[in-house]
Amino acid sequence: MRGTLTVAAAVAALLVAAGPLPAAEAGGAVPVAAGRWGAHEAESFWTPERMAAARPLPPVPPQSPVAPQPPAMPDAPVSPGPTVTPDLTAPVTPVRPPAAVPAVTPSPTPDVTTPAVTTPDATTPEPAPTPTPGTLPAPAPAPAPAPAPERPALPRIPAAGPGAGQDFGGLPVVGRMYLVKGGGSYFCTASVVASPGRNLVVSAAHCLLGADTRQVAFVPQYTRAKPRPFGMFPVVRTSAGRSKIWIDQRYRTQGVNRAAALDVAFAQVGPGPKGRRVQDVVGGNRLVTGAGYAHARATLIGHPSTAARPRLCVNRTTKYTSTDARIPGSFLRIACTGYPGGTSGGPFLLRLDNRTGTGDLVGVIGGWKTGGDKPDVSYSSYFGADIRRLYEKAVAGAKAP
């Protein structure tokens, strides 16, 4: 979701944009029990026709906090996190970043295999980011089968000038996140993030809010020509029927503007139709926190609106500090052409490896006005200590059986 609609238009979009699920498809879909949502159920529900008919999630009314969900069951992953008090001391006038320059050097790697976290009081502000990035690496490969022989070669990554978005064949590690909400079928962009359980994806929190968010599934490297090249990976449900999605509780209670600095969500996905974990099939990006705002060369990937293929752009990122008291915080900003609705949740990647198709994840489209009010400039919540703690909670809650 990009902040491009007025409140009135947003309400109308909720009722009309994607509309009700097509009657013919609804009649042919396999009924899904509250506690059963596996790869086969997901593929039966999300037919190629329904995926093609899905629309970008419409905006949440900007001044309305999302209604709190029912109290979490004992096995539910959602819990409050610490409060961010973003830096508002250096307001910046929005401008397009200048041309890209050589990439930065990778940082040291901390151990994150023990994700136990003590949650501080919600009134404690997060300290300013430290200059030394902390990289959450891909864990050592599990004794899983070798990559499937049918895995296609990586598409050619287009070369273009800084800030010029181009459609391309996509990367296996990035795809669409499908969901049903309010009777409509929608999607955002999501990507696989490396984790010990090899079963986590990351998107924007505004994409996955609400107790009525259901039938959630991740489709790597979706294109209209090849809608399920690796199958479908359903977001796991608890025994109570709730999706295993981790969003900072303050984002739920304070709303998408006041808590814009926390617009990040992690979700646990189950095995694909062949019984393999998503990271074993397509790989995973390494989560990087505390790396700062200015990056010389970042790759932005998203699935725009009703486009048949995803979009890629390379440019530098800069720091944008909001001057709007209703949307406090500092955010990563990148000028890239052609990123409208549907691209929310798309990854900001550093050091993208053309051989593996993975890189270092430092942001997802969201945050300021849930990703930006213009399709040619995108934003991300800053990946600092709050996002690291949220990731660690997801790791702890998504341990593979």
One-letter amino acid of 399: K
Q: Is the pLDDT of residue 190 over 80?
A: yes
pLDDT of 74 reads: 32
- The CA distance from 162 to 185, in Å, is 34
Q: What is the mean pLDDT of residues 396-401?
A: 79
DSSP 203-238: E-GGGS-STT-EEEEEEET--SSSS-TT--EEBPB-
Burial of residue 123 (CB within 10 Å: 0-12, 13-18, 19+) is exposed
| pLDDT tier at 22, thresholds 50, 70, 90 | very low
Higher-scoring residue by pLDDT: 119, 309: 309
> Quick one: how far is CA 27 from the chain centroid?
31
The count of other CB atoms within 10 Å of the CB of residue 160 is 14
Q: Which is it for the CA torsion 266, 272, 277, 282, positive or negative?
A: negative
What is residue 189's three-state secondary structure?
strand
pLDDT for 36 equals: 83
**How many angstroms separate the CA atoms of 166 and 169, rounded?**
10
Between these two residues, 398 and 35, which has the higher pLDDT value? 398
User: End-to-end alpha-carbon separation of the chain, Å?
Assistant: 34
Confidence of residue 156 (pLDDT cuts 50, 70, 90): confident
Give me the pLDDT at residue 239, please: 84
Confidence of residue 86 (pLDDT cuts 50, 70, 90): very low
**Which pLDDT tens digit goes with each residue over 234-290?**
999 988 888 999 999 999 999 999 999 999 999 999 999 999 999 999 999 999 999
Mean pLDDT of 96-100: 34
**6-15, 205-214, 217-226, 370-379, range with the lowest pLDDT:** 6-15
Q: pLDDT higher for 239 or 191? A: 191
Q: Which of 288, 283, 284, 285 is nearest to 107 (CA)?
A: 288
pLDDT tens, 192-235?
999 999 999 999 999 999 888 999 999 999 999 999 999 999 99
Q: State the pLDDT confidence band at 400, using cuts at 50, 70 and 90.
A: low
Mean pLDDT of 384-398: 97
Query: Is the pLDDT score of 55 beyond 60?
Result: yes
> Has residue 336 got a pLDDT over 80?
yes
Compute the average pLDDT of residues 317-331. Answer: 97
Q: What is the pLDDT of residue 160?
A: 73
